[in-house]
Structure 1
C-alpha cells in the first residue's frame, strides 16, 4: 500500500538529511508504529506519505513515494484526501469550522457527498469515538483530549484507505486512548485500513502493532517485527524494560504477556517494598477553599478544597474534560472563578496584577508555545527578566540549567518540544514562585526527554516548591509524584499517596504496577534497584 523507494529528504538550510535512502513497504491493512526520539524525523516520514513533505515544508525530496500505486509527487494534494487521512500533533491548528458536528462533516462537504451519506457517517463516527455528547459544542471550548478525538473523527468520516496519525493519544486519558486505539483496530481488522502511527507513549500502541519503524537518528528507517525490534531499541515501554531487567526471552509486548512471565519475579521480591516517598505533612504553601469554575451553565470545577505542601509533587489526573486545566488556571489567578478563595503567603493570586500572580504561582499551559511570542530565545529571556524584575541573565541561566546549549539566536518555534518546554519553564521560574503548575508537560517528549524532565520536576520540589503536574501520562506520574489527586466532573474522587491511588485503579496504574500486583512496585527503576540489592545480599 505504501512504498518508499530510495527516499532522501533534506530541509532547506539543514546540514544533513532528515531521511536518508529509505526503502520500505507497508502492506494494506497493517497497523504500523513509528518510534524514535524527539527530532529524529518521525513527522517528516509521516508527511512524506501524502506529499505534505516537501510541498508545504520546503526542502528537497529524492526518490519515490507511492500510496496505492499513486505517486505523491505527481498528483495534486486534493486527490490524496480520499486516499490518505492525516491527523497532526496540534488538533486545534487543523480545525476549519466552529462546532464538532460541522468539523466532522466539512471534509465530506468538500468532496460533494450526498447529505444522507454525510449524516450517516457523522453518526457512526460520533459513536465510534464516544463523542456524541459533544456534537454541538464549540471546538474551542473542548479539552485538549476532546479536540484530539474530534480531529481523528474529522478524518475518519472520509473513509481513507490510509490513516496517518502523529501522536494521536498524547492528549488523551488512558480510557479515551484505549477507545481510540480500539477504533483504529476495528478499521484495520474490519475494513483493511492501513494505519501509520507515530507515538512517544509506545506502551499504549506496541501490543497492537503489526510492524515497527524505528528512526535511530541518522536519517535511516529500520523496519521489522515489534518483538524483534524491541530487543535492542532505545525507545521501549516499561514491560519491555522490565523483561530486560528480569532476563525474559522472548520479551513481553503487553501487560498480559508480562504477567504470565512474572510469577518467579514476584516470588524473588516477596516481602520487599519500594522505598517510601515523603508523606504530605509539610506546611501548605497554597490553600484553596470552595473553588468553583463555570462557563455559562457548564460547571468545570465544583467547590473543591486543596492544600499543596512545599517540597511535594502532586499529580492531577482524570479523564478528558474533568476540570484539571480549569482548576490550574483558577489556582494561578488568571482563570475565572465563580466562587472560592486561594491563599498563597496570605495573598490571593486572583486579586493581584498578572506579574504579581506570576510571582506567587507559575503556570505552564498545555501548549507551552502560547507563552512565547518573540523571534529569538535571547529576546524571550530578556523580556522575561524585565517583566519579572530580576537581574539580566536570570532567565537564560535557568534555561541553561534545564536544557543546556539552546542557541540564543534560535526562533522558539524551531526548538524541539523539550527545549520549548524548558524555555517556558525558565520564563515562569524567573519570578521565583513558590508554586509551579504544569499542564500536560510531557506531551511530545520521548522517554529520554521525560527522564530529564522528571529530574527537573524533582529539583523544583527539592527547592521547597509545591509542584502540580496535570497529566494523562501514568508512567510519568508513577515516577515523579508523591501524591495523586483524581478528578471527575469537577470534583476530587481520590486523593492520597501515589502507590495507593494508582495501584487501586485499572485506568491510572502504570504497566509495572499491573504486572507486579498485588505488590506495589510502580517503576522499572524500583524493580531494578531491588533486584540489584538482592544479588548483593546473596
Structure 2
C-alpha cells in the first residue's frame, strides 16, 4: 500500500537530513506505529506519505514514495485526498467550517458526494467517535480533546484507504483515547484501512500495532518489524515494556493483561512501595471557594473547592470537557466567577492587572502559541525579561536549562510542539510566580523531554512553588503529583494523595499499578526489588536512577 524507495528529506536550513535511506513497504490493512525520540523524523516521514513533504513544507525529497500506486512527488496533497486522510498534531489547523456537523461534511462536499451519502456517513462518524451530543456546537467552543475527535472524524467520513495520524490521542482523556483507538482498529480489521500513526504516549497504542516502524535517530535508517522485538531496542518505551525489561521477561509483554500473567510470582513477593512524603501543610498560595463559572450558556464549574499549597504538585484530571482548562483560566483571571471566590497570592485574579498578576501566577496553556508572538526565540526571551522585570538573559538561561540547543534565530512557529511548550514554560517561569499552572504539559513530548519536565517541576516544588497541572497523562500524574483531583461535569469528585486516587480508578491508574499494585511506576518496582536484593541488577539500577531517564537532563535547575 505504501512503498518507500531510498527516501531522504533535507530541509534548507538543517545541517543534517531529516530522513535518509528509508527503504520499506507498509502492507495494506495494517496499523503501523512510528516510534522514535523527538527529532528522529516521524512527522517528516508521515508528511512524505500525505504529500505535505515537500509540496507544503519545502525541502528536498529524494527517492520515491508511492501510496496506492501514486507517486507523492508528482501528486500534491489535494490529488491524494481521496486516498490519504491526514490529521496533524494541531487539530484546529484542519478546520475550515464553524460547527461540528459542517466540519464532518466538508471533505465529502469537496469531493462532490451525494447528499444522502454524506448524511449517512456523518451520522455513522458521530456515533463512532461519541460526537452526537456535539453535532451543533461551534468548533471554537470545544475542548482540545473534543476538537481532536472532530478532526479525526472529518477525515474518516471520506473513507480513505490510508490514514496518517500524528499524535492522534495527545489531547484525549484515557477513555476517549481508547474509543478512538478502538475505532482505528475496527477500520483496520473490518475495512482493510492502512493506518500510519505516530504517538509519544506509547502506553496507549503499542498493543494495537501490527507492526512498529522504529526511527532510532540521526544517521540510522528506519526499521520495520515485530512490535515486541523492536520495542526491546527502542530508545523510547512504555512502562509495560520497561517493566518487562526490568524483570527479564522474554518475549516482552506489550499489554497489561500479558504483563499481569507474567508478574504473578513477583506480585507475591514484592514489598510495598516507599511513598514520597507529602509536603507539610502551609498557608495556601491559591484557593477556590464554592466556585461557579459558566462559559457562555454552558456551566463549566459547579461549586469547586480547592486549595493549593506551596511545595505541592497537584494533578487535575478528568474527561475532556470536564472543566479543567476553565479552572486554570479562572485562577489566572481569564474568567470571572458567577459566584464563589478565587484568591491567588492575596489577589483576586480577574480584578488584577495582567502586568501585576504575572508575578503571582503563570499559565502555560494547552496551545503554547497563545503566549508566543515575537519573530524569534531570542525576541520572545527578551520580551519575557522585560515583562517580568527580570535581569536580561534570565529567560534565555531558563530555556537553555530546560531544553538545550534551540537556536536564537528560530521562529517559534517553526519549533516542534515540545519545543514550543518548553519556550512557553521558560517565558512563564521568568517572573518566578509562586503558582504555576500547566494545561496538558506533556502533549507533544517524548519520554526524554517529559523526564526533563518532571525534574524541573520537582525542583520548583522543592523551592516552594505550588504547581497545578491539568493532564490526561496518567503516567505523569503517578510519577510527579503529590495530590490528584478529579473533575467531572464541573465538580471535584475525588481529591487526595495521588496513590489513593489513582489506585481506586481503573481509568486513571498507570500501567504499573494495573500490573503490580500498589506500585505506581517502574522505579517504584525497581526500588522494591532492590530491597529484596541488596545488589541491584543493571536493569534495576537503570530504572531507579533518574539520570538515565533522559540522555541530557537539566545541567542546573531554574532559580
TM-score normalised per structure 1: 0.97
Match in the other structure for 1:260: 261
1:337: Cα distance to partner?
2.4
- How much has 1:537 moved relative to structure 2? 7.5
Counterpart CA distance in 1 for 2:205 and 2:345 is 45
- Provide the secondary structure at the position in 1 that maps to 2:337: coil
Q: Which residue of 2 aligns with 1:229?
A: 230
Give the equivalent residue in structure 2 for 1:529. 527
Query: Which residue of the partner structure matches residue 246 of structure 2?
Result: 245
Question: Is 1:156–2:159 an aligned residue pair?
Answer: no
**Cα distance in 2, alignment partners of residues 334 and 13 from structure 1:** 38
Measured in 2, the distance between the counterparts of 1:45 and 1:292 equals 46
For 1:479-537, what per-residue CA distance to the aligned partner results, in whole angstroms no more than 9, with x for missing partners? 100000000000000001000100111110000000013xx100001111221232118
**Superposed counterparts of 1:163-174, under 5 Å:** 163-174=163-174
Find the aligned partners of 2:80 and 2:404 in 1 and give their Cα distance.
Answer: 42
Equivalent in the alignment of 1:358? 358
Aligned pairs (5 A) from 1:99-114: 99-114=99-114
**Alpha-carbon distance in 1 for matches of 2:438, 2:346:** 23
- 1:106-149 per-residue CA deviation (whole Å, 9 max, x = no partner) reads 00001111111000000000000001000000001100000000
- SS of the equivalent of 1:231 reads helix
Say if 2:273 and 2:525, in contact at 8 Å, map to a contact too.
no
1:511 corresponds in structure 2 to 511
SS in 2 for 1:284: coil
Alignment match, 1:476 = 476
- The corresponding residue for 2:319 is 319
1:380-421 Cα deviation digits (max 9, x unpaired):
111112111222222223223322343322222233433322
Q: Write the distance in 2 (CA, Å) between the matches of 1:235 and 1:19.
A: 19
Tell me whether 1:202 sits opposite 2:189 in the alignment.
Answer: no
The alignment yields a C-alpha RMSD, in angstroms, of 1.4
Q: Which residue is equivalent to 2:542?
A: none
Do the aligned residues in 2 keep the contact of 1:280 with 1:483 (CA within 8 Å)?
no
Matches of 1:58 and 1:403, distance apart in 2: 26
Output the CA distance in 2 between the equivalents of 1:296 and 1:425: 29
Deviates more, 1:215-224 or 1:353-362: 215-224
Deviation of the 1:40 alpha carbon: 1.2
2:547 — aligned with what? none
Residues 314 and 481 in structure 2, CA contact (< 8 A), matched pair in contact too: yes
The question of whether the paired residues in 2 share the 8 Å contact of 1:382 and 1:395 is answered with yes
Residue 80 of structure 1: aligned partner: 80
Contact 1:188 1:194 in 2 (8 A): yes
Partner Cα distance (1:10, 1:162) in 2: 25
Task: Determine if contact 1:349/1:360 at 8 Å carries over to the other structure.
Answer: no
Q: Distance in 2 between matches of 1:197 and 1:475?
A: 21
Structure 2: unaligned runs, 5 residues or longer: 537-559
The separation in 2 between residues aligned to 1:308 and 1:428, in whole angstroms, is 18
Summarize deviations over 1:10-46 as a string: whole Å, max 9, x none. Answer: 1113222111111111111000000111121101000
Encode CA deviations 1:294-353: one digit per residue, 9 max, x unaligned. 122210111211100110100000000000000000011122322222222322122110
- Cα 1:279–1:15 shift into 2, 3 Å: closer
Contact kept, 8 Å, 2:273 with 2:524, in 1: the verdict is no
Residue number in structure 1 paired with 2:375: 375
Residues in 2 aligned to 1:11 and 1:279: alpha-carbon distance in whole angstroms:
48
Indicate how the Cα distance of structure 1 residues 406 and 50 shifts in structure 2: closer, same or farther if over 3 A, else same: closer
Deviates more, 1:10-19 or 1:221-230: 10-19
Alpha-carbon offset, residue 438 of structure 1: 0.3
How many residues are matched? 535
Q: What CA distance in whole angstroms lies between the structure 2 residues aligned with 1:213 and 1:18? A: 16
Q: Contact 2:34–2:196 (CA<8 Å) still a contact in 1?
A: yes
What is residue 445 of structure 1 aligned with on the other side? 445
1-structure distance, mates of 2:326, 2:515: 34
Structure 2 distance, partners of 1:46, 1:417, is: 16
1:78 Cα deviation after fit: 2.2
Of residues 62-71 and 464-473 in structure 1, the stretch that sits farther from structure 2 once superposed is 62-71
- Give the drift of 1:90: 0.2
Alpha-carbon displacement from aligned partner over 1:145-188 (angstroms, at most 9, x marks no partner): 00000000000000001011000000000000000000001100
Paired position in structure 1 for 2:302: 302
CA distance in 2, matches of 1:115, 1:28: 30
Change (3 A) 1:126 1:536: same
- Say yes or no: does 1:177 pair with 2:144: no
Aligned to 2:282: 282
Equivalence for 1:2: 2
- SS for the counterpart of 2:311 is coil
